[in-house]
Amino acid sequence: MKERVFVTASADFEAACQIGIFPESHRARALHGHSYKASIRLAIDDSENDNFDQLEVTRELLQDTCGLLDYSYLNEIIDVPTDENIARYIKEQTGLSNINVIGLTSQSNEGVHLDEFGAAHVWRRFRFESAHRLPNVPSGHKCGRMHGHGFEVILHTQTDLRQSHLGVDYDEIQKHWEELHQQLHHNCLNDISGLENPTSEMISFWIWSRLKGKIPQLSWVTVYETASSGAHYNGSDFRIWKDFSIDSAIRLDRVKETDTRKRIHGHTYLCRLHLTAPLNDVLGWTIDYGDVKEKFNPIFDKLDHKPLYEIAELADNDPFSIARWIKANSASQLVELERIDLFETLGCGVTIDWGALGPALPI
């Protein structure tokens, strides 16, 4: 598949609102407020020289746009300030035509992404504390021992929004999750029917099979086994991701002489690798997270706690160049890799993708 390139930026704002379209008993009808986070994923052509700094341009534009809403009463600006309508407003105010996704998070555990076709992808995050072991792993594998995790689950729904103010109500998603939470929380997953081999992939499949009939709009189930790795399932395909934190020094040569980024500085990068492979029917996973880490370690070691401007192929050590360097150097070892996210600060970075994009993860 042809490579696609995106920049991602985010910005915060504080605002109050009342949502009058809900029933009288709904708490959102009352005057209340949120610490909102807006995010934008913009498709670009980085082969054009002017676009190498598109991340910074997009970040500044989004911050200026969110500044119009900061410390405001949203009902004076947006007639019905649902998360979906606030996201629409931000999209319109940016004036950008090449937006792939515009996202809005009103609470840390819920939000919405509007895609380029106008569909609303409403998501809500849940957590359960459980134990498990993987019975089919090779002898000596640490996951063969009984252990535990604070698992997190994101339920993604997709609705053709058209002119509607609302996709799927967050409380509706919550209601359907409760029954599963009772089964999963404070339990040994291996003892639950259908979860005898409770990998992230099999947990996402188990959740999907029990909720799709109740939530027809369900589009993806995401399971975080740890804070840095997890799996997605959409009823047919599995995807996994693995995060790496990389501390590097950089120096941007192509910026103006007066730009402080021309000096040696650095970032703690979040590098997120997305991989797709067929499910192994015996092991119950697509790829072992440990194998991903082991294969990526030689690349990680070349980047972490290093001055990237001293790497010959990274004379341009902007995020696009770094992500492409990672792709080129990972190709032979991680053949299942099909997307790289590289964030230089929280919610701000680049994506290169040559597979299926999959669900947008909250930032």
The dihedral region occupied by 47, where left means phi > 0, alpha psi between -120 and 50, and beta the remainder, is alpha
Token code pair at residue 38? 């807006």
**In which residue are the tokens 């063969």 written?**
144
Report the C-alpha gap between 292 and 298 in whole angstroms: 11
SS3 162: coil
The angle, 0 to 180 degrees and rounded to 10, between the axes of the packed helices 83-94 and 54-67 is 120
Token code pair at residue 274? 């997305």
Give the residue ranges of DSSP H helices in the chain. Answer: 54-67, 83-94, 170-184, 200-211, 289-303, 319-330
**Dihedrals phi, psi of 66, to nearest 5 degrees:** -70, -25
Residues belonging to the active site: 143, 186, 225
**In which residue are the tokens 């790795």 written?**
229
Residues 6+ apart with CB under 8 A from 76: none
Using alpha carbons, select from 317, 320, 182 the residue that is nearest to residue 262. 317
Burial 268-277 (b: 16+ CB within 10 A, else e): ebbbbbbbbe
DSSP state of 60: H
